[in-house]
Amino acid sequence: MSNLQRFYIGGQWVDPAAPAFRDVINPATEAAAGSVAMGSAADVERAVAAARAAFPAFAATTREERLDLFARIGVAYKKRYDDMAQAICTEMGAPLKALAGSGQAGSGLFHFRAAATALQDFVFEKPQGGTRILREPIGVCGLITPWNWPANQMACKVAPALAAGCTMVLKPSELAPLSGIILAEILHEAGVPAGVFNLVNGDGAGVGAPLTTHPDVDMLSFTGSTRAGQLVMRAAADGIKKVALELGGKSANIILDDADFTRAVTQGVMTLMLNSGQNCNAPSRMLVPAGRLDEVEALAVAALARVRVGDPLDAATTMGPLANGAQFERVQRLIEAGVAEGAKLLAGGPGRPEGIARGFFARPTIFSQVKNSMTIAREEIFGPVLSILPYRDEDDAVAIANDSPYGLSGYVSSADPARARAVARRLRTGNVHINGAPIDMAAPFGGYKQSGLGREWGAWGIDEFLEVKAMLGYGEGD
């Protein structure tokens, strides 16, 4: 990869303003997979200036011109699909066959397609009597993305920003920068106009902070931890910038007493273990009838036996390592907290899986008899750790589910669809999966409470990158 130590600014690859580099660590081996340039405020200045200069012309492009651009991006992305999958496998450990290719790389392409579909019929102008209502691109956008779903998180910001007519500066996670470089190469090949998309790698202090406070950045879209989101929001406040935040979650998975327990428990375990548990919408709290707790415990342990932890390049692997050393240490601390606070350990526990001596591999872990006041039920673990909580009745299940500072996602299973829908309506979350329904990338994604502000994906993603203007006295005609 020839552009590891350069940034993409103003339509070309440029050297950093000052030489500073950081190793990219392969979490499966703990060895360096390359060295990436780390940016500074001077690099952010160049990138924002390029985006500001490109904004008037790109904001004036037509819907048809942007749709043509999306078609070219789709062609270029498919050519680099395998490269994207390999980069994600290397930088954050997603199993190449089971996830990095089929899910991780694919999600990026799907978001470009979803944005293009939404753009086709998106209403940018409409009459309201003699007034004309316009929805216009907000301007230069700072995009800050995490390491757990790199292609997905970059694409679900870049794609709607392009559809809206905005220009942007992207800062991917410094822990998973390889996929961002490939995305920049894809957009360059597709002919995105110079300055419309810019990439500066770096950490929060060197790049994130100056991007957040830059006076020529009109909007910030951030995905990451709630703590980091709070910092972004505070830093943006002086400039009265629009801020969109997609933050943490501690989603409840309510299995009602009439559900197919074998199916619901198995699906809950496997969904939680996906991506080594590093999903903000993971169903990490499984809520089950107290009288059937023994049955659920047996089903959960049986389901866990299907998880294959190992080398992400091995086709048989279903779960790779945690993405980095800091996350590995966090997960270990929280597993130990679960044991110390008296939760019943059904499987897993602290340490690496048996036979694995190197890499940031955690043991898939299940706790039962968890109380919602315990640390493992309150904090987002972001690892392969499931908490099973008993409930007395339906009202108790809803109360436990809503007793969380987070509100990103939720899950409800019942043999009666009407009953499942009624419970789903009572959950204070941004989305709810009913009876194992999969992700819908055309639906809005985002959370209540400390899970964030705003919505991503599809038409709702485009909305976030628009301002609203009323032209009074416009007249009745077009």
Quick one: pLDDT at residue 2? 77
347 within domain boundaries? yes
By DSSP bridging, strand 131-137 and strand 125-128 are antiparallel
- Together in a domain, 409 and 460: no
User: What does the pLDDT look like over 212-233, one tens digit per residue?
Assistant: 999 999 999 999 999 999 999 9
Helices 150-164 and 63-79: crossing angle, nearest 10°?
A: 160
The dihedral built from the CA positions of residue 313, 94, 287 and 430, taken in this order, carries a sign that is: negative
- Together in a domain, 166 and 67: yes
Angle at Cα 11 formed by Cα 7 and Cα 14, nearest 5°?
30
- Together in a domain, 315 and 210: no
As a residue count, the chain comes to 478
478 within domain boundaries? no
276: nearest Cα among 147, 438, 385: 385
- Together in a domain, 357 and 465: no
User: What does the pLDDT look like over 29-50, one tens digit per residue?
Assistant: 999 999 999 999 999 999 999 9
Average pLDDT over residues 243-266: 98
Please report which confidence band the pLDDT of residue 280 belongs to, taking 50, 70 and 90 as the band edges.
very high
User: What does the pLDDT look like over 132-191, one tens digit per residue?
Assistant: 999 999 999 999 999 999 999 999 999 999 999 999 999 999 999 999 999 999 999 999
Quick one: pLDDT at residue 478? 66
Amino acid at 101: G
Quick one: pLDDT at residue 258? 98
201 within domain boundaries? yes
- Together in a domain, 280 and 243: no
Quick one: pLDDT at residue 477? 67
List the structure tokens of 309.
Answer: 């932890």
183, HSE (Cβ side, Cα atoms, 13 Å) = 33
List the structure tokens of 375.
Answer: 């640390």
Return the CA Rg of the chain: 23
Q: What is the CATH number of the domain that holds 421?
A: 3.40.309.10
Quick one: pLDDT at residue 102? 85
User: What does the pLDDT look like over 448-472, one tens digit per residue?
Assistant: 999 999 999 999 999 999 999 999 9
403 within domain boundaries? yes
- Together in a domain, 261 and 241: no
3-state class percentages of the chain: helix first, strand second, coil last, to nearest 5: 40, 20, 35
Quick one: pLDDT at residue 476? 81
List the structure tokens of 471.
Answer: 């032209």
| Whether 142 contacts 167, CB under 8 Å | no
> Which positions are annotated as active-site residues?
246
Give the E-state strand segments of 356-395 in sequence order.
365-368, 385-391
What are the residues facing 388 on neighbouring strands?
286
Which strand (E) or helix (H) includes residue 185?
helix 178-190
139 within domain boundaries? yes
40: nearest Cα among 4, 7, 10: 7
- Together in a domain, 271 and 239: no
In whole angstroms, what is the distance from residue 157 CA to residue 197 CA? 11
1 within domain boundaries? no
185 within domain boundaries? yes
- Together in a domain, 73 and 167: yes
397: nearest Cα among 378, 410, 407, 385: 410
User: What does the pLDDT look like over 295-332, one tens digit per residue?
Assistant: 999 999 999 999 999 999 999 999 999 999 999 999 99
Q: What is the CATH number of the domain that holds 211?
A: 3.40.605.10
What CA dihedral angle connects 324, 329, 332 and 337, to 10 degrees?
-140
Q: Which residues contact 357 (CB under 8 A, 6 or more apart)?
A: none
In whole angstroms, what is the distance from residue 370 CA to residue 388 CA? 6
- Together in a domain, 152 and 261: no
215 within domain boundaries? yes
Q: What is the mean pLDDT of the chain?
A: 97
Average pLDDT over residues 116-144: 97
List the structure tokens of 477.
Answer: 């005609």
Structurally, the chain folds into a number of domains equal to 2
Please report which confidence band the pLDDT of residue 97 belongs to, taking 50, 70 and 90 as the band edges.
very high
- Together in a domain, 151 and 43: yes
Look up the domain containing 227 and give its range. 7-247+451-471
DSSP code for 277: G
In whole angstroms, what is the distance from residue 204 CA to residue 105 CA? 25
pTM for the model: 0.96
CB neighbours of residue 167 within 10 Å: 29
What are the residues facing 345 on neighbouring strands?
367
Quick one: pLDDT at residue 3? 87
List the structure tokens of 41.
Answer: 């405020």
Burial class of residue 126 in the structure, from the number of CB atoms within 10 Å of its CB (0-12 exposed, 13-18 middle, 19+ buried): exposed
- Together in a domain, 426 and 378: yes
- Together in a domain, 280 and 304: yes
